[in-house]
Structure 1
């Protein structure tokens, strides 16, 4: 029996690993977590609506807080607003609690350090660099896209 050029022995295809849910599998659309702050899902992004926009979008009210008021533009008034309203600690922010490990847009993974009405502070590792002295950085996250990546 002759073997043709394209006759190959029957072999099983190698197993393809399932895609990581935090990278390639979209989250269920419209899913709003139970949270101490209001939660809205619009155009495939989860966020906490602020005063003025909460009235315009379908949202789940917060268990503890209402929509955050709009930030004033004057620096001294803004500082007072930040201290007395925006940075007030919360038990969670859109389902994030301190200790959660999440995926952020500009870093691989980050750990939630604290939460407030404005957002969640996360800490992530910086890439090794001969001229950098810092090994970690922090940032606020206030939104999540449909792939589970959090961003500001």
Structure 2
């Protein structure tokens, strides 16, 4: 019996990589996604117009929510506004749902943790450092630029 170094039988195509769970195709640049919050695409940026701005730009109304009311300036009133209006959970934010992988400004990959009327909370990995104990950081994203990077 001989042992061959190479198998010269019919080559088999490599198996396609299995899609990672929770990953979806991103919303195409320049398109206004169907969303539970209002969506606008203006000057190559995708965002959710707020009350007062929505009347001035062409936008797609939200499936579940009207434009976010303007925040009051007084601290106590602002806290009430944040709890009762801005941080209300939504099924999505501008097409983002929890578990989606996105790119934030700076070409950092992040994962969507939760969504609300104000934006989406994302978590990204921090570079290893002997001075830091945290391995991840969180931030809100509320807009996407013409390059597909999300930011606040």
TM surpasses 0.5: yes
Give the Å deviation of 1:107.
5.1
Provide TM-score, normalisation by structure 1: 0.80
Query: d(CA) in 1 for partners of 2:138 and 2:151?
Result: 12
What secondary structure, in the 3-state scheme, does the structure 1 residue paired with 2:146 have?
coil
- 1:36 matched to 2:36? The reply is yes
Query: d(CA) in 2 for partners of 1:130 and 1:72?
Result: 42
What secondary structure, in the 3-state scheme, does the structure 2 residue paired with 1:140 have?
strand
Structure 2: runs of 5 or more not aligned: 1-27
Q: How many residues align?
A: 125
Give the Å deviation of 1:83.
0.2
What secondary structure, in the 3-state scheme, does the structure 2 residue paired with 1:81 have?
helix
What secondary structure, in the 3-state scheme, does the structure 1 residue paired with 2:34 have?
coil
Provide TM-score, normalisation by structure 2: 0.80
- Runs of 4 or more off by more than 2 Å in structure 1? none
- Larger RCO, structures 1/2 (Cα 8 Å, 6+ apart): 1
Cα RMSD between the aligned structures?
Answer: 0.9
Structure 1: runs of 5 or more not aligned: 1-26
Query: d(CA) in 1 for partners of 2:69 and 2:84?
Result: 11
What secondary structure, in the 3-state scheme, does the structure 2 residue paired with 1:84 have?
helix
